[in-house]
Structure 1
């Protein structure tokens, strides 16, 4: 199966019956990011986490109706 990275527009081949290919076919909203872009994003995020101004916005714990 040929897939296109949403960040770098590179075209890669993945196995047609791999779990990733099945998920991409099942949920068309899900996007594909190539391994090199994924690695680059991971490195940049880890650098930002070291900064004191980094805030990770998480969902509040507990009952959402309060």
Structure 2
């Protein structure tokens, strides 16, 4: 299966039976990111977290009103 990175437009080939290929086929909203871009984003995010100014906002949980 041919896939294209959403950031750098690099084309990679995945095995048809791999987990990632099945996920991309069955859920078209999931996007593919190559290892180079993924590592770069991970490294930059970890550097931002270490500065102490990074906040991860999570969705508010709604309480059941009984």
Range of TM-score over shorter length: 0.7 to 0.9
Report the alpha carbon displacement of residue 61 of structure 1 after superposing the two structures with TM: 4.5
Q: Please report the RMSD computed on the Cα atoms of aligned residues, expressed in angstroms.
A: 1.6
- What residue is the counterpart of 1:58 in the other structure? 58
Q: Please say if 1:3 is aligned against 2:27.
A: no
Alignment of 1:27-46 (within 5 A): 27-46=27-46
Q: TM-score normalized by structure 1?
A: 0.87
Report the alpha carbon displacement of residue 53 of structure 1 after superposing the two structures with TM: 1.6
Q: Distance in 2 between matches of 1:45 and 1:52?
A: 12
- What residue is the counterpart of 1:22 in the other structure? 22
- What residue is the counterpart of 2:49 in the other structure? 49
Runs of 4+ aligned residues of structure 1 deviating over 4 Å after TM superposition are none
Deviations 1:14-59 (A, max 9, x none): 1011111011000111100001110000000000001122111112
Q: TM-score normalized by structure 2?
A: 0.87
Q: Structure 2 regions of 5+ residues with no counterpart?
A: none
Question: When the two structures are aligned, how many residues end up with a matched partner?
Answer: 65
